[in-house]
């Protein structure tokens, strides 16, 4: 499968990229490198760019015939988000809308949306999803989290 990984040069994204490549997927990383590191992914699959660049997103999704997107390109520092809410709104909200618009134009219907660190470090939640139990946070390791992407 041809997969675009936004924010793929960050810590969690780069590990996801490594696993996707190991499972034989064709991967393109789209990252502005503001938090990620180019050295974290193979240079030949890295496209430096911003989610605010709608035309570039459109072009990449169409020309590379992307079939699925894994979206990690969000800022996640609480203190910084309080100090610079406009930066977080532009990147996390408007950037995601730009990505969704580009996906719609290109006919890409598959997406994994990484919303929160709790997606990786989770607590056990009761059956009604009304609150956390007293159990401590436990990590989901990559070999537990890929959930059939190798199928």
* Residue-wise DSSP of 101-132: HHHHHHT--EEEE---GGGTEE--B-TTSS-B
Residue that the structure tokens 């997969």 belong to: 3
Answer whether 5's CB lies under 8 Å from 13's CB.
yes
Check residue 78 and give its pLDDT.
78
What is the rounded distance in angstroms from the CA atom of residue 78 to the CA atom of residue 17? 25
pTM: 0.75
CATH number of the structural domain 2-117 = 3.40.50.720
| Alpha helices, H only, 23-130 | 54-63, 78-83, 85-88, 95-106
- Provide the residue-wise pLDDT of the chain in tens; the chain has 151 residues: 999 999 999 998 999 999 999 999 999 999 999 989 999 999 999 999 999 999 999 999 999 999 999 999 888 777 887 888 888 888 888 999 999 999 999 999 999 876 555 444 444 444 444 444 454 444 444 444 444 444 3
Check residue 87 and give its pLDDT.
83
Check residue 65 and give its pLDDT.
98
Check residue 124 and give its pLDDT.
46
């Amino acid at each position: 499968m041809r997969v675009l990984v936004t924010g793929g040069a960050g810590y969690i994204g780069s590990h996801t990229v490594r696993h996707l490549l190991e499972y034989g997927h064709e991967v393109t990383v789209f990252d502005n490198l503001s938090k990620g590191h180019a050295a974290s992914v193979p240079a030949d699959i890295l496209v430096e760019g911003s989610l605010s660049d709608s035309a570039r997103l459109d072009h990449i999704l169409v020309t590379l015939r992307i079939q699925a997107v894994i979206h990690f390109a969000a800022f996640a520092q609480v203190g910084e988000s309080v100090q610079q809410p406009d930066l977080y709104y532009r990147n996390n909200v408007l950037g995601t809308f730009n990505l969704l618009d580009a996906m719609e134009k290109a006919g890409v219907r598959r997406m994994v949306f990484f919303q929160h660190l709790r997606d990786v470090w989770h607590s056990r939640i009761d059956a009604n999803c009304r609150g956390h139990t007293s159990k401590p946070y436990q990590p989901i390791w990559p070999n537990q989290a890929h959930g059939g992407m190798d199928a």
